[in-house]
A and B are shown apart, each in its own frame.
Chain A
Amino acid sequence: MARHIAQIALFAALIAALGLVPKFDLAAGVPITAQSLGVMLAGCLLGARRGALAVLLFLFLVALGLPLLAGGRGGLGVFMGPTVGFLLGFPVAAFVTGYFSAQWRGSAPVVTTVLAAILGGVFVLYIFGIVGFAMVTGQTLAQATSIMWVFVPGDVVKAGLAGIITESVLRLRPGLAAQG
């Protein structure tokens, strides 16, 4: 249990650090933060349950007022903003990514991990994000979807990176996968 707590806490800290390290940009010049990549990695590397718990812990600290979200945002205010759906979708995204990356693990682990990250970290996350955006800004789901569409390619790229990074980490630290 000590190891689980340490992993959950360190991954929550990792997700926070990914949003705060200046210029930890994924694409040159485009301020895409790596925070949602951290959410996908939490699911892939810690598994569905612990991955989701790490994200929940991160959100709990954000709610307590720590400015841990990308751009130094934090506090209860962010849970009222247009991106609230994405925040609430984060733990679900980590869970779905972790669950399916474990389920589908087979002869082509990078491919299946990428697919799981797209399903959890893009598809499921955007369902939450779009519903939240539409509710806060009073738009229809179709309008919200048409705005959000712009960000999908960037997140698909992150899902690809999540697959590559996960496999590299598991190759270098084989014990991690064995823990389940």
Chain B
Amino acid sequence: MLSLNSEPRSFWHDVPAGPKLLALLIATGLAMWLPNAAAAAMAFVAVMGLYAVAGWAFLRQGLLALRPVLFVAALILAWHGWALSWGQGALVVARMLALIALANLVSMSTALADLLDRVERALAWLRVPPLWRQRLALSVALVVRFTPVLIVKGQQLQRAWRARSRRRPGWRLMLPFVLGALDDAETVSEALRARTGTL
């Protein structure tokens, strides 16, 4: 789930990271000027069209990637409908979904390594010392590696709680959760020290 990268290679995989990032940035900026719900809905359909260009499997994957935000989108729509207007809510939600879908498209079709390569080159251009660039790359790799690990640990803690209590798991799980992450950091730092000379 963390890595949105799509396995079957698509048309968009062959487009270099730089232009895709630039296009996403421009589209994100332009999306703020969408005048109404109809325009935002068209933007969303257009993004879906970009997915469809790469085939049905890719489109389906793109839609599945949107599933986690649908609940939030419904809440936002309901809140806008209740407090302001449904049209405004539809605009906000359609725009949000279109932008998330577009960002997902870039993520799904661009290896994180390629994205980082872009950042690395930008930092080199800004004359950031190589050692710091290596540290950044290493840190990013660690976060990508350990976020799913911690999510699984969090879910295990919740299951362990549910097996023992009828009450909902609450903030008390935070302590073992945080401790686990800090202990993982110790283990990782030992592994890093053993494998890297100058860091």
Q: Which residues of A contact B (CB under 8 A)?
A: 1-3, 5-14, 16-18, 20-28, 34, 37, 41, 45, 57-58, 60-61, 64-68, 71-77, 79-81, 161, 165, 168-169, 172-173, 176
Contacts and interface: CB of A to CB of B under 8 A. Distances in A.
Nearest to A24: B154
21 contacts: A3-B186, A3-B193, A6-B188, A10-B142, A12-B143, A14-B178, A17-B151, A17-B177, A21-B151, A61-B140, A65-B107, A66-B107, A66-B112, A71-B71, A71-B72, A72-B68, A75-B24, A75-B28, A77-B100, A161-B174, A165-B175
Given A73-B100, A74-B103, A6 B143 contact: no
Contacts of B155: 21-22
Given A25-B168, A165-B174, 16 more contacts: A2-B199, A3-B186, A3-B189, A6-B142, A6-B192, A13-B143, A13-B146, A13-B147, A14-B177, A23-B169, A64-B112, A64-B119, A73-B100, A77-B31, A165-B175, A173-B182
A41 B31 CA distance: 35
Contacts of B143: 9, 12-13, 16, 57-58, 61
B32 interface: yes
B115 A64 contact: yes
Nearest to B182: A173
Nearest to B119: A64
A174 to B, nearest CB: 12
B46 interface: no
A18 B182 CA distance: 14
Contacts of A41: 178
B199 A5 contact: yes
B150 A13 contact: yes
A110 B155 CA distance: 28
B174 A34 contact: yes
B186 A6 contact: yes
Interface in B124-157: 135, 138-140, 142-144, 146-147, 149-151, 153-155
Given A9-B142, A10-B181, A66-B2, A75 B189 contact: no
A41 B65 CA distance: 30
Interface string B166-193: 0011110111011101111110110011
B58 to A, nearest CB: 16
A26 B106 contact: no
A10 B188 contact: yes
A73 B199 contact: no
A82 B174 CA distance: 28
Interface in B78-121: 96, 99-100, 102-104, 106-107, 110, 112, 115-116, 119
B179 A169 contact: yes
Interface string B43-70: 0000000000000000000000100110
Contacts of B175: 165, 168-169
B4 A67 contact: yes
B71 to A, nearest CB: 8
A68 B199 contact: no
Please give me the 3 A-B residue pairs with the lowest Cβ-Cβ distance, nearest first.
Answer: A75-B103, A72-B68, A77-B99
Nearest to A22: B155
Contacts of B42: none
Contacts of A60: 140
Determine which residue in A8, A45, A67, A172 has the highest number of CB atoms from chain B within 10 A of its CB, and name it: A67
B146 to A, nearest CB: 4
B196 interface: yes
